[in-house]
Each structure stands twice: as structure tokens, then as C-alpha cells.
A and B are shown apart, each in its own frame.
Chain A
Amino acid sequence: MKMGIPIPNSKLGMWLFLGTEIMFFTAFIGTYIVLRLGSRGWPTDPEDTHINVTLGFINTCVLIVSSYFVVVAHEAMAQKNFQKARTYLFGTLALAVVFLGIKGVEYAGKISHDILPGRIAETPTQAIQKVNRELEIVVRDRFREYTDAGVVPADRPDDIVSVVSQISALPGSTPPEGVDDDVFAEFQKDAEIDVELFRQWMNLHQHVVANVSLAVPAIPTEYLAARGNLKEGEKLPTLKFEEVEKYLADLKANEKFGSFVTAGVFDPHPVVYGNIFASTYFLMTGFHAIHVIVGMILFVAVLKQGSQLDGRWTDFVENSGLYWHFVDLVWIFLFPLLYII
């Protein structure tokens, strides 16, 4: 006689675990729904979110096929057809790899557009500041090459004004001690380009700090003259997002340093509530992906038995199957919530 629930302990344990998993994912999904309902203007345009419904749909189908494979594998185990069980479990494992591969493509698409929590500009002003910051990083990275190679003295490598004055003087100077002539010649060749890049960034930076249109010259005398010509109550035109967009496009099109700017500065695109969207998206899909990986480990444990696989593994396959169906179940809700709605 067996007391309690009429199922094996391992299965009871799996169901209790799945009970906690239900609450775990419902906390995320519930919080997402609540945040979304409370955020008027939540991003839904694929141009903003880079959500690919087709890839999401393909992944849904991949998980459904894998769920079917698992259930067939479990049935084969019960019928003691272990070769068939292994074949279907291998199919499930392969589909899990496909799922993660597609997820990886989706993640790469988001990373390449900087759709990451805390990195998205939500307003035009934030987008302008982001361009300014990223351009500064590009300039500093270029200058670091000079200081790291010892071409310019690196007493204060972060003092960008001091470094740029030294780089400006490079074309007419001789190599410092310990620097190869050919290396120095290369840096001399690039110096003019990098100094010009610095000037372009500094021009934008000054306009951002003063919040003045790029149409107003940043040269102090001309800037002060423009201010002096203002009548009572008039203000200099403020810096507009469209101006910065155009300015950045011109920098990226520049033959000499355009490639550095393109590699280091993302196209500005304000997305209201973009950060909370990215947080919830990566949190939910990330935890789901971790569960997929755990499922794969369970299947590998069975497949590792090879031809030794026997009836003792039937409960393990059943419980792994229950876990895998749960992973499928979570995706069944994530797909409409994240991709369609």
C-alpha cells in the first residue's frame, strides 16, 4: 500500500517544482502586463522594438515539434523501444539548439541597434546626449591608441585637450624614444584625421552643452556676437534632434573617419518606454532561454547512456518531458505577449 498521492515521488517532486516555476514566470509576465498597461505609448512598432514576429512564430513551431518529439520519446520508453526514444530525444535536443540559434539571431539584432536596458534614449534630448557621449568615446578610443603606443606622452591620457594638442604637433616632430619609425609614420599620417574628428565632436559637444542650434557657430567670438545681436526677450535657436541626426549622417559619410563613427555611434532613435520594454523583454526571454538550456542538459544526460539506455530511465524521461512541456507552455504565452500584442 502506498500512502499519499498515487504517483512516483520523482514525478510529485517535478510537479511541485513546476508549481514554483509557474509562480516564477507568472511574476514576470504579470509584472510585464501591469507595467505595460500603465505605460501609455509603450513601443509596439517593429522599427522601435526590432521584434521579428516571423522568427517568433518559427520558434513557436520549433518548440511545438520538440514537445511532440518528447512525448513520443516517453511513449517509446514505456514501450521499451529505447532506440526510438533516443532518436526522438536527439531530435528534441537538436530543435532546442535551433530555438537558441534563432533567439541568438534576435538578440544580435537588438544588440546591433543598442536596444538594451538602460541604453535607449527615450526623448530627442536624450538621443542627442547619447550621440554626443558615443562620439566622445570614439574620439577617446582613437586617442588611446596614440598614448598606448607611446607616440604621445601619456602622463594624463584622460586629459583630452592636452592629448589633442600633442597629436596636432605630431606631423612635424620626430619619433620619441622606443617608438619604431614606421609605426610613428603611420600615426603621423592619421593625426590630421583624428584631430579633425576631435574638432567635429567638440563642435557638437559645445552646442549640446549650450543647447544651441548647430546653425549658430561655436567659435566664441561669433557665438557671443550672435548673442549680442539678440533683441529683448529673444533667445538663440535651440539644438534640434533633426540637426544632430543630419550632422551625424554627414560624419558617418566622411571618407576619412566615417568608418570609426559608424562603428562607434548608433543611429539616434528615441523610443519612449524603450528601456522598460528592453528590460522586460530580455528578462522574460532570457530566463526562458536558461530553462531551455537546463532542458538540454536533462536530454544530454539521457542521450549519454547511448545503447545502455533502459527502463530505469523511463521516469527520468517522463519528468524531463514534463519540464520541457512547461518550457513550451511559457513560450506559448510569451509569443503573443511580446511579439504580437
Chain B
Amino acid sequence: MSHEAHDTHHVNYLTIFFVLTGFSLLSYIFDILQMSKGVTIVLVLAVACAKALCVMMYFMHLKFEGNWKFVLLAPTTILAIGLPLALFPDVGTSYYTSVAPQTGIWEGEISEYQAHHAQAKAEAAAVPE
């Protein structure tokens, strides 16, 4: 019974493995390429979603399971997406706007340090070895 679904299909796991490795390499390359932050974020998250789909569909056999998978996973998926959406207005967009010391009372001091540090780094990089 437990292998009903498994026995009725054949998956070339080695191919899935190479696809996953290729995707991982792609993420690493995206990091090295030094593209704009926004593009990198979109690309690496897209690759992560593709990898997750591969693992779930083939390694976890969800592609070959019955419709029960939707009944079981839909509520958790909705709750999982709902949590960050619910947090976002309170934490992500309000808490750190004016109240946090990092963006308020400390900001001048931090900016001054960062400017000095960046200048010191640039000077160190400019000095030939």
C-alpha cells in the first residue's frame, strides 16, 4: 500500500540531483556577478523556488500523490504566507521608521563612522602592496 504510488512511476533521481546542483551553482554565480541588488534578489529567490519545487515534486513524490496533498498543504501554506503579511504593517513599515535609535539618535554618529571607515578602506585599497 505504502509504495503504490512509488511503484507506478519511475523518476531518474540522478537527473533531478544534477538539476538541483546546477540551480545551486546558478545562485552562487548570481552572487559573484555583482548585479544590482534587486535583480540578484529576484533571481536567487526564483532559483530557490525552482529548487524547492524539484525537491517537493520528485524527491518528496508530491507529483505522484493524490489530491490529499492539496487538502493537507493548503492551510499551512496560507498560514505561512499570512504571517509575514500580518507582521509587515506593524513591524516592517512602522517600528523602525522613527522610533529605533539606529535611524534616530544614533544616525549621525553611525553615518560619521561609516564615512570614515569607507574612506580608510578606500585609502588602504589604493596603497600598492
Contacts and interface: CB of A to CB of B under 8 A. Distances in A.
A40 B96 contact: yes
Nearest to A269: B117
Interface string A1-28: 0100111100100011001101100110
Interface stretch (A90-98, A200-208, A284-292, A331-339): A331-339
B60 A64 contact: no
A125 B100 CA distance: 17
B105 to A, nearest CB: 9
A37 B94 CA distance: 11
A23 B79 contact: yes
A39 B96 contact: yes
Interface in A308-339: 314-315, 318, 321-322, 325-326, 328-329, 332-333, 335-336, 339
A33 B84 contact: yes
Instruction: Place the interface of chain B in its size category.
Output: 35 or more
A329 B50 CA distance: 11
Contact of A8 (B1, B65, B106): B1
Given A61-B24, A71-B59, A22 B83 contact: no
Nearest to A41: B102
Contacts of A247: none
Interface in B75-94: 75-77, 79-81, 83-84, 87-88, 91-94
A234 B72 CA distance: 71
Nearest to A20: B76
B109 A124 contact: yes
Contacts of A339: 31
A242 interface: yes
A335 B26 CA distance: 13
B91 A34 contact: yes
Given A8-B1, A67-B59, A122-B106, A332 B48 contact: yes
B14 A336 contact: no
A161 B28 CA distance: 56
The secondary-structure label for the interface of chain A is helix
Contact of B110 (A27, A72, A272, A341): A272
B68 A64 contact: no
The secondary-structure label for the interface of chain B is helix
A336 B47 contact: yes
A322 B60 contact: yes
A75 B84 CA distance: 38
A92 B111 CA distance: 48
Interface string B61-75: 000011011011101
B123 interface: no
A31 B84 contact: yes
Nearest to A30: B84
A162 interface: no
A34 B47 contact: no
A57 B1 CA distance: 38
Interface string B22-45: 001001101100000000110011
Those 4 A-B pairs whose CB atoms lie nearest each other, nearest first? A30-B84, A26-B80, A336-B44, A34-B92
18 contacts: A7-B2, A15-B69, A22-B77, A23-B76, A23-B79, A27-B83, A41-B103, A41-B110, A64-B21, A67-B55, A68-B16, A325-B56, A325-B59, A326-B60, A329-B56, A335-B27, A340-B30, A340-B40
Given A19-B75, A31-B83, 19 more contacts: A5-B68, A6-B4, A6-B66, A6-B68, A22-B77, A29-B84, A31-B87, A31-B91, A38-B96, A38-B97, A68-B17, A71-B13, A78-B3, A124-B109, A242-B116, A325-B56, A328-B59, A340-B30, A341-B40
